[in-house]
């Protein structure tokens, strides 16, 4: 698909969409020119840390378009609940499939040459099957990389740098040019604002505690407006339903479906934790170790509860549209690659090969709907439509 304007992708969760995200979009457009089309691939209702998003995916996509994005697509569910490597591979493949020629990401270190060096060095490392160090997979790879390139290995101490490196690793299979935008203000998971910016984790805490007024200095006005609207209709804040999730996990354990195929004792540890736990969080606490970090445990348990196969590919087989602007609609009209889903009600007309994945999407969305303050009946997935900013 040829376009007369630059098309740039951004991978995000926007959980919630805050001022730092808007800064990233603006800087990306400044670097490419005012006619650039910004396409965001966003995690849906479940996010990479293994949790329910604080707000429905369509509402979060709306805040992104109101904040400067032109098109928001949903990251495949299997990719959204994958490690950094699978998350990046699925996102980059989807952006390439929609016609992006650039990929912009935020990083603590905006030295793109160093990020690419780290990516190339990691790609050159042999498989980590021999990890008997007691370290997590990520820490073990960082240790290996440090022996080859200490400066590149140092980048892996930051989650945003780590994702940037994974994006560049994924780009070896796709003709896209990376752009690194230096992050400003509070870092990942920081517990206090800095330089007028706050971390998404801090803002989620405020929102879930009913303190949206504390978020006001760090969220665009449009994000505050969308949040208040959704809260008023019982759609926010969404929190993980501890008891219901443990029930689903016990059922998965009974069916023998609580498995990842890992040969390092991880599956057995998760199974024992689920059997003895009294809540989802308790299972995470019981299963996690230095080698098996909480994020890996949470993703594994959430995948099992949702019924995502351990070998499910993170790569996209269709593109689900969540929100778009007039400029984004122009790009959609030129799309001739992946099947597009604009209105979910049309999903049943798609090829049979796509139906299992589409049904899983619907199940996941229905489960998310039950976690709202005002729970929804089943089938809401098919009644949703993308937000369009005229």
Tens of pLDDT along 76-119? 999 999 999 999 999 999 999 999 999 999 988 778 888 888 88
Nearest Cα to 214, choosing from 231, 195, 235, 193? 193
15 labeled binding residue: yes
Query: Is 96 annotated as ligand-binding?
Result: no
To the question of whether residue 160 is assigned a binding role by annotation, the answer is yes
- pLDDT of 206 > 90? The answer is yes
- 21 is known to lie in a ligand binding site: yes
pLDDT at residue number 99: 94
Lowest-confidence region among 167-171, 258-262, 296-300? 258-262
DSSP reduced 3-state for 272:
helix
Residue 188: per-residue pLDDT = 53
pLDDT in tens, 363-386: 999 999 999 999 999 999 999 999
- For residues 328 and 74, the answer to whether their CB atoms sit within 8 Å is no
Residue from 73, 71, 64, 384 nearest 222 by CA: 64
User: Tens digit of pLDDT for each residue in 148-159?
Assistant: 778 777 787 777
Tell me the pLDDT tens digit for each residue of 219-235.
999 999 999 999 999 99
- Return left, alpha or beta for 127; rule: phi > 0 is left, psi -120 to 50 is alpha, else beta: beta
Q: Give the pLDDT band of residue 197 (cuts 50, 70, 90).
A: confident
In this predicted structure, the answer to whether residue 25 has a pLDDT above a threshold of 70 is yes
Residue 143, pLDDT score: 82
Q: What is the pLDDT of residue 192?
A: 55
Q: pLDDT above 70 covers what percent of the chain?
A: 94
String of b and e for 358-384 (b: at least 16 CB within 10 Å)? Answer: bebbbebbbbbbebbeeebeeebbeeb
Is 23 annotated to bind a ligand? Reply is yes
Q: 65-69, 128-132, 176-180 — which is least confidently predicted?
A: 128-132
The band of 248, judged by pLDDT with boundaries at 50, 70 and 90, is very high
Split at pLDDT 50, 70, 90, the class of 335 is confident
Question: Which segments of the chain does DSSP mark as H helices, in order?
Answer: 19-32, 57-66, 77-80, 84-97, 112-124, 137-148, 150-154, 159-170, 200-208, 212-215, 221-232, 242-255, 266-276, 280-287, 294-306, 326-333, 355-370
DSSP 213-256: HHHGGGS-HHHHHHHHHHHHTT-------HHHHHHHHHHHHHHT
Count CB atoms within 10 A of the CB of residue 65: 24
- The region of weakest confidence among 68-77, 140-149, 202-211, 243-252 is 140-149
- Residue 22 in marked binding region: yes
Characterise 92 by phi-psi region: left (phi > 0), alpha (psi -120 to 50), beta (else).
Answer: alpha
State how far the alpha carbon of 171 is from the alpha carbons of 35, 70, 92, 265, in Å: 24, 22, 7, 32
Buried b (16+ CB within 10 A) or exposed e, 226-252: bbeebbeeebbbbebbeeebbebbbeb
Q: Which two tokens stand for residue 238?
A: 């969404």
The CATH architecture to which 7-232 belongs is 3-Layer(aba) Sandwich (3.40)
Tens digit of each residue's pLDDT (9 = 90 or more) over 282-312: 999 999 999 999 999 999 999 999 999 999 9
Q: Is 5 annotated to bind ligand?
A: no
pLDDT: is 304 or 197 the higher one?
A: 304
**Where do the structural domains in the chain lie, given as residue ranges?**
7-232, 242-306
65 carries a ligand binding annotation? no
166 is in an annotated binding site: no
How sure is the predictor about 63, in pLDDT bands with cuts at 50, 70 and 90? Answer: very high
Binding residue per annotation — 18?
yes
Question: Of 164, 167, 121, 166, which Cα lies nearest the Cα of 146?
Answer: 121
Which 3-state string (H, E, C) describes 10-23? EEECCCCCCHHHHH
Q: What's the whole-model pTM score?
A: 0.93
Please provide the average confidence, as pLDDT, over all residues in the chain: 91
Please state the rounded mean pLDDT for residues 329-333: 94
State yes or no: 176 annotated in a binding site: no
pLDDT at res. 182: 87
Q: How far apart are CA 282 and CA 143, in angstroms?
A: 30
13 is in an annotated binding site: yes
**262 assigned binding-site residue:** no
Cβ–Cβ under 8 Å, residues 214 and 203: no
For the cut 90, the answer to whether the pLDDT of residue 186 exceeds it is no
Give the Cα-Cα-Cα angle 264, 268, 271 (nearest 5 degrees): 145
Instruction: Judge whether 283 is annotated as a binding position.
Output: no
Q: What is the CA radius of gyration of the chain?
A: 20
Give 103's strand partners.
9, 178
């Amino acid at each position: 698909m040829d376009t007369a304007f630059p098309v740039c992708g951004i991978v995000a969760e926007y959980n919630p969409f805050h001022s730092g995200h808007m800064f990233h979009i603006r800087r990306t457009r400044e670097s490419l020119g005012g006619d650039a089309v910004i396409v965001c691939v966003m995690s849906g209702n479940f996010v990479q840390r293994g949790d329910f998003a604080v707000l429905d995916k369509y509402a979060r996509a709306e805040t992104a378009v109101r904040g400067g994005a032109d098109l928001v697509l949903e990251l495949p569910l299997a990719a959204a609940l994958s490690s950094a490597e699978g998350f990046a591979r699925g996102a980059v493949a989807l952006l390439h499939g929609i016609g992006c020629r650039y990929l912009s990401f935020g990083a603590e270190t905006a030295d793109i040459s160093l990020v690419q060096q780290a990516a190339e060095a990691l790609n050159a490392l042999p498989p980590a099957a021999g990890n008997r160090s007691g370290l997590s997979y990520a820490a073990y790879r960082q240790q290996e990389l440090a022996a080859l390139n200490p400066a590149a290995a140092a980048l892996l101490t930051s989650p945003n740098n780590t994702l940037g490196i994974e994006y560049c690793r994924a780009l070896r299979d796709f003709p896209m040019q990376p752009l690194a935008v230096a992050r400003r203000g509070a870092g990942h998971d920081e517990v206090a604002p800095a330089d007028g910016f706050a971390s998404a984790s801090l803002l989620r805490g405020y929102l879930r505690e009913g303190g949206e007024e504390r978020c006001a200095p760090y969220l665009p006005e449009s994000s505050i407006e969308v949040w208040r609207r959704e809260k008023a209709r019982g759609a926010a804040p969404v929190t993980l339903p501890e008891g219901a999730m443990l029930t689903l996990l016990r059922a998965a354990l009974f069916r023998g479906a609580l498995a990842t195929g890992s040969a390092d004792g991880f599956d057995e540890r998760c199974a024992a934790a689920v059997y003895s736990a009294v809540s989802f969080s308790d299972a995470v606490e019981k299963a996690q170790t230095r080698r098996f970090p909480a994020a890996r445990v949470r993703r594994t348990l959430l995948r099992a509860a949702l019924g995502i196969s351990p070998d499910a590919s993170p790569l996209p087989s269709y593109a689900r549209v969540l929100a778009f602007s007039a400029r984004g609609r122009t790009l959609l009209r030129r799309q001739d690659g992946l099947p597009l889903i604009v209105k979910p009600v049309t999903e049943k007309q798609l090829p049979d090969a796509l139906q299992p994945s589409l049904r899983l999407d619907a199940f996941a969305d229905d489960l998310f709907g039950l976690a709202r303050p005002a729970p929804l009946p089943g089938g809401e997935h098919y009644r949703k439509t993308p937000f369009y900013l005229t």
